[in-house]
């Protein structure tokens, strides 16, 4: 059954009172360049604004609302868990945390899980784990972590340093030491960096990459590149960390992004879609992570019963409803449709790329049209999209999206391009 048949919400199409955005701006820090839109309700792959207008949501909280909005499984999980136990300290055993960790380990290459609240925190944990392993096991005095240009790993001081995009780092120096950047999908650059950084006291301890760069323009990893990186890591005792915050949890048509590449990481991170919109993050790793001892790392809210209980229901629903197959089918439908549109507008669009239900429409770099302009035009037509840089429009709908909704999105983006082109 669809969520519409199981959940009754108040008259979603009826306008509500207008929202005073000026009052919002007077009280909330201006850390986002917000579109002039106030969303108030959602159901499935659709949301409604304060005036009652309906939109197809192909942003999904930026690849976060795995099951869309107001999904009955999540409503049931939230309701039951909040009535039972929502938060206790990690000083005690938490049944829901253990159950979620077991599910994730049984459905991945990991042996252990650490829970936190976000993707940035998960990546922070991975960085700390890699550094402790380097110091205590590899006996490296000054460990270095290689990351890629155009990557994105979070907004904390360590994770913006790991992020290979200067625009995120501007005015936040001095940045954390111990990171070095290389071009993505360039194996020669990896090999040269390892040789360059190899001194008596300094070595590359880890390589941290996204299987597909999301914020960096929806750029899929090259299979041969990642397999060679894995081989180099094995040969040299380097840890391979994969940031699965955006591409994990079924987004690519596999449970994890690394499955598209035919490799296994030593550490990988998850967040966004893991809780379907309820804040949770996870760092998952092979058994070497036992180098972390009590007191080495912690999170007050990480792994609490509420977040873990809901996340487990999201995981179970992905499996029980066979949503990975839906992701593969709908992703192919979306890419085929976008490629057909690209052929109609060769002066505007140069490429369509992606996996599953994370896809990018790449704009011609020689024209002035930006991704934000297209996002705004699509919004005016009732379709919500998100930029992935100035020249890539990103499509990341909920994983429950159906054939008719993909068709509706394709029609809307074509109208938006026609209006701009």
Residue-wise pLDDT tens digits, 41-83: 999 999 999 999 999 999 999 999 999 999 999 999 999 999 9
Q: What is residue 149's DSSP assignment?
A: B
Mean pLDDT is lowest, of 10-14, 100-104, 321-325, for: 10-14
| 331: preceding bond cis by omega (within 30 degrees) | no
In 3-state terms, what secondary structure has residue 343? Answer: helix
Predicted local distance difference test score (pLDDT) of residue 358: 98
- State pTM to two decimals: 0.94
**Is CATH 3.40.50.300 correct for 74-320?**
no
- In the numeric block, which tokens belong to residue 216? 């960096």
Q: Which helix (H) or strand (E) holds 397?
A: none
Confidence (pLDDT) at 2: 42
Give me the architecture of the 3-64+322-420 domain, per CATH. Answer: Alpha-Beta Complex (3.90)
**What are the sequence ranges of the domains in the chain?**
3-64+322-420, 74-320
Map residue 136 onto helix, strand or coil.
Answer: helix
* 325 pLDDT higher than 50: yes
328 in Cβ contact with 400 (< 8 Å): no
The SS3 assignment for 375 reads helix
- What is the three-class DSSP state of 28? coil
Measured between alpha carbons, how far is 399 from 325 in angstroms, rounded to an integer? 10
Q: Which residue has the tokens 């840890």?
A: 239
The proportion of the chain whose per-residue pLDDT surpasses 90, expressed as a percent, equals 92
**N- to C-terminal Cα separation, the chain:** 40
- pLDDT for res 6: 42
pLDDT score of 421:
73
Phi, psi (deg, nearest 5) at residue 193: -65, -40
Q: How many CA atoms lie within 13 A of 7 on its CB side?
A: 19
SS3 67: coil
Residues assigned a catalytic role: 152, 243, 272
Positive or negative, the CA dihedral 196, 198, 203, 208 is positive
Q: Is 97 exposed, middle or buried (0-12, 13-18, 19+ CB in 10 A)?
A: buried
Q: Compute the average pLDDT of residues 302-330.
A: 98
Q: pLDDT (tens digit, 9 = 90+) per residue, 363-391?
A: 999 999 999 999 999 999 999 999 999 99
267, β-bridge pairs = 241, 285
For range 257-263, the mean pLDDT = 98
CA–CA separation, 114 vs 312, rounded Å? 15
Write the DSSP string, 289-329.
GGG--TTS---SSTT-HHHHHHHHHHHHHHHHTTHHHHHHH
Helix axis angle for 305-320 and 72-84, nearest 10°, is 150
Q: Judge whether 191 and 231 are in contact, CB under 8 Å.
A: no
Distance CA 58, CA 147 (A): 29
DSSP three-state, residue 109: coil
- Same topology, domains 3-64+322-420 and 74-320? Answer is no
CB–CB of 247/212 below 8 Å?
A: yes
Return the pLDDT at 54: 97
Cα–Cα distance measured from residue 111 to residue 362, given in angstroms and rounded to the nearest whole number: 38
Other CB atoms within 10 A of residue 261 CB: 24
- Mean pLDDT throughout 285-311? 94
Given a contact cutoff of 8 angstroms between Cβ atoms, the answer to whether 172 and 160 are in contact is: yes
Judge whether residue 13 has pLDDT over 80: no
CA distances from 157 to 168, 170, 175, 194, 279 (A): 10, 12, 7, 24, 20
DSSP-assigned letter for residue 177:
S
Q: What pLDDT does residue 78 have?
A: 97
pLDDT at 5 over 80: no
Nearest to 387 by CA among 152, 163, 166, 59: 59
Q: Does residue 1 have a pLDDT over 70?
A: no
The rounded mean pLDDT for the chain is 94
Q: Is a pLDDT exceeding 70 seen at residue 15?
A: no
Q: Is the pLDDT of residue 227 over 70?
A: yes
State mean pLDDT over 94-105. Answer: 98
């Amino acid at each position: 059954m669809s969520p519409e048949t199981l959940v009754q919400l108040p008259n979603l199409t009826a306008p509500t009172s207008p929202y005073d955005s000026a009052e919002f701006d007077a009280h909330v820090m201006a850390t986002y360049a917000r579109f002039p839109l106030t969303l108030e309700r959602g159901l499935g792959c659709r949301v409604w604004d304060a005036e009652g207008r309906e939109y197809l949501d192909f942003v999904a909280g930026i690849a976060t609302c795995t099951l869309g909005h107001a999904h009955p499984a999540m409503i049931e999980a939230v309701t039951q868990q909040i009535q039972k136990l929502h938060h206790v300290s990690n000083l005690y055993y938490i049944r829901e945390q253990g159950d979620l960790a077991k599910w994730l380990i049984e459905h991945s290459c990991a042996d252990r899980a650490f829970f936190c609240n976000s993707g940035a925190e998960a990546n922070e944990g991975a960085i700390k784990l890699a550094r402790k392993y380097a110091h205590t096991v590899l006996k490296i005095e000054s460990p270095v972590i290689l990351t890629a240009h155009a990557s994105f790993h979070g907004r904390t001081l360590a994770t913006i340093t790991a992020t290979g995009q200067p625009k995120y780092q501007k005015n936040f120096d001095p940045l954390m030491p111990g990171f070095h950047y290389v071009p993505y999908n360039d194996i020669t650059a990896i090999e040269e960096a390892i040789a360059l950084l190899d001194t008596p006291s300094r070595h590359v301890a880890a390589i941290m990459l996204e299987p597909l760069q999301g914020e960096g323009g929806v750029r899929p990893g090259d299979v041969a590149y990642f397999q060679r990186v894995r081989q180099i890591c094995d040969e040299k005792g380097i840890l391979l960390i994969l940031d699965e915050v955006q591409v994990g949890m079924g987004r690519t048509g596999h449970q994890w992004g690394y499955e598209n590449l035919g490799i296994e990481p030593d550490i990988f991170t998850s967040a966004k879609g893991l809780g379907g919109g309820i804040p949770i993050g996870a760092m998952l790793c092979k058994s070497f992570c036992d180098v972390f001892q009590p007191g080495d790392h912690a999170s007050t809210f990480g792994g609490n019963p509420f977040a873990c209980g809901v996340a487990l229901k999201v995981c179970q629903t992905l499996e029980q409803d066979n949503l990975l197959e839906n992701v593969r089918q709908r992703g192919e439908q979306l890419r085929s449709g976008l490629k057909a549109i690209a052929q109609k507008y060769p002066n505007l669009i140069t490429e369509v790329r992606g996996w599953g239900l994370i896809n990018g429409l790449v704009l011609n770099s020689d024209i002035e049209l930006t991704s934000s302009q297209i996002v705004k035009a699509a919004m005016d037509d009732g379709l919500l999209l998100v930029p992935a840089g100035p020249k890539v429009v990103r499509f990341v709908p909920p994983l429950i999206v159906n054939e008719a909704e993909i068709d509706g999105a394709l029609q809307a983006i074509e109208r938006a391009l026609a209006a701009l082109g």
